[in-house]
Amino acid sequence: MSQPKIPTTADHVDATWLNQAFDGSVATITNVQAQRLGEGVGLLGEVTRLHLTYAPGSTGPQPATMIAKCQAAAPGNVFMSQAMGFYERESSFYKQFSQSINLRVPFCYYTDVDPAGAPYIVLLEEITNPRMVDQVVGANFEDSAAILDQAVKLHSHFWDNELLWSLSWLPPMNNPLYRAAREMAEPKLESFIATWSPHVAADTMQWMRELTPKYPDMVDWWVEQGNATFSHTDFRADNFLFGGSAGDGVVTVLDFQLSARHVGMWDVANFLGQSVTTENRREWEQTLVRRYYDGLIAAGVPNYSWDRCWRDYRYCLLHQAWSQVAVSDIDPGNDRGRALLHAMITRVFAAAHDLQSGDLLNEF
């Protein structure tokens, strides 16, 4: 059966389209009601809850709802997602791993992406009645530990092995578009420094000036260091669900659009540097990074020392602080978005300062 035309918006997802897409893998659908999820959900894509009605007597699975992810509404965001391959990455991940990986992710009922990189669609299981962590408030210790345990599962599964290198759709951190981030950051640098200098340590802004012209060298250096794995790359509190229909104590991991082939510590630093308050990160980071490291070793990851792990953590905090410069012209959209942006920037810059990550600038 030929693939149905990929919808550009969930408004085009009707019963006829779904029945053609599923081709009998779920019961026959007679009606669809689309419910857009809240403002600010899905910056790079449109996220919609589909309420489904089935034909009486029809056989097969009959989920009451699904989550549909389509391309973004803003043409600029679609263009960026095409250029960066964001939709291809997420579609490929769910198509290949949603049922096989030792990580709880939503079951994927259907996915497709145009060869041009957009439009795309992913139809996912909805995890109902979950608990979420408010990233602005910051994660507590128990939730932080549980989330980093998911990083161990993900990273150890792909750690520098044949499976990782077989993923042609997963780009390395020094792909040409990422290397070009220097050109994105250069015209924004001084404005960023002027805006955020009152809120962060002075030495960190000097590091931003030093790192910007060297950024392509940095990502090349990262690749040369080895120990690559599958990095989620957006390991923020907003991308985790606790419990609900997935089961008590289960952590579900969401959103694989930004995935890359990179060091696993990126995800750990991403979470601790932005989803935990500065005070709590200072108190917990040694314990939690060590928990992650011990988990990798227990999972059989070879040739990775504690010293290398801690150095990677310091480097990733520096890298992530700089990344805020490159995307500093994104509109946070609303009060919650502004509070989140303030928390993310001040926390990661404080972490880089606390660990004196700028001392590593002369290594590449």
| β-bridge partners, 51 | 33, 65
Which pLDDT belongs to residue 213?
A: 95
Q: Which residues of 280-318 are buried (b: 16+ CB within 10 A; e: fewer)?
A: bbeebbeebbebbbebbeeeebeebeeebbbbbbbbbbb
Distance CA 173, CA 183 (A): 16
Q: For every residue of the chain, which 3-state class applies, written as one string?
A: CCCCCCCCCHHHCCHHHHHHHHCCCCCCEEEEEEEECCCCCCCCEEEEEEEEEECCCCCCCCCCEEEEEEECCCHHHHHHHHHHCHHHHHHHHHHHHCCCCCCCCCCEEEEEECCCCCCEEEEEECCCCCECCCCCCCCCHHHHHHHHHHHHHHHHHHCCCHHHHCCCCCCECCCHHHHCHHHHHHHHHHHHHHHHHHHCCHHHHHHHHHHHHHHHHHHHHHHHCCCEEEECCCCCHHHEEECHHHCCCCEEECCCCCCEEEECHHHHHHHHHHCCCHHHHHHHHHHHHHHHHHHHHHCCCCCCCHHHHHHHHHHHHHHHHHHHHHCCCCCCCCHHHHHHHHHHHHHHHHHHHHCCHHHHHHHC
Instruction: In whole angstroms, give the CA distance from residue 121 to residue 95.
Output: 11
The answer for residues whose C-beta is within 8 angstroms of residue 350's C-beta and 6 or more apart is 200, 201, 278
Cα dihedral value 323, 325, 331, 336, nearest 10: 70
- State how far the Cα of 153 lies from the Cα of 101, in Å rounded to an integer: 9
In this structure, which CATH number among 3.90.1200, 1.10.10, 3.30.70, 3.90.660 belongs to the domain 141-363? Answer: 3.90.1200
Structure tokens at 256: 């694989």
Q: Could you give the CA distance from residue 276 to residue 237 in angstroms, rounded to a whole number? A: 9
Q: For residue 295, what are its two tokens?
A: 């988990």
What kind of fold does domain 10-125 have according to CATH? Phosphorylase Kinase; domain 1 (3.30.200)
CA distance 322 to 205: 9
Identify the pLDDT of residue 259.
96
Dist. CA 216–CA 281, nearest whole Å: 29
Contact at 8 Å (CB) between 35 and 67? Answer: no
pLDDT of residue 363: 86
What SS3 string covers 97-119? HCCCCCCCCCCEEEEEECCCCCC
Q: How many residues in total does the chain contain?
A: 364
Q: What pLDDT sits at residue 1?
A: 55
What residues are paired with 34 via a beta bridge? Answer: 50
Per-residue pLDDT of the chain (364 residues; tens, 9 = 90+): 567 899 998 889 999 999 999 999 999 999 999 998 854 445 677 899 999 999 999 999 999 999 999 988 778 778 878 888 899 999 999 999 988 899 999 999 999 999 998 999 999 999 999 999 999 999 999 999 999 999 999 999 999 999 999 999 999 999 998 899 899 889 999 999 999 999 999 999 999 999 999 999 999 999 999 999 999 999 999 999 999 999 999 999 999 999 999 999 999 999 999 999 999 999 999 999 999 999 999 999 999 999 999 999 999 999 999 999 987 776 666 788 788 889 999 999 999 999 999 999 988 8
Q: What does the domain layout of the chain look like in residue ranges?
A: 10-125, 141-363
Q: How far out from the chain centre does Cα 175 lie?
A: 17
Q: What is the pLDDT of residue 40?
A: 43
As a whole number of angstroms, the distance between CA 106 and CA 177 comes to 29
Task: Identify the pLDDT of residue 153.
Answer: 97
Per-residue model confidence (pLDDT) at position 2: 67
Instruction: Report pLDDT for 198.
Output: 95
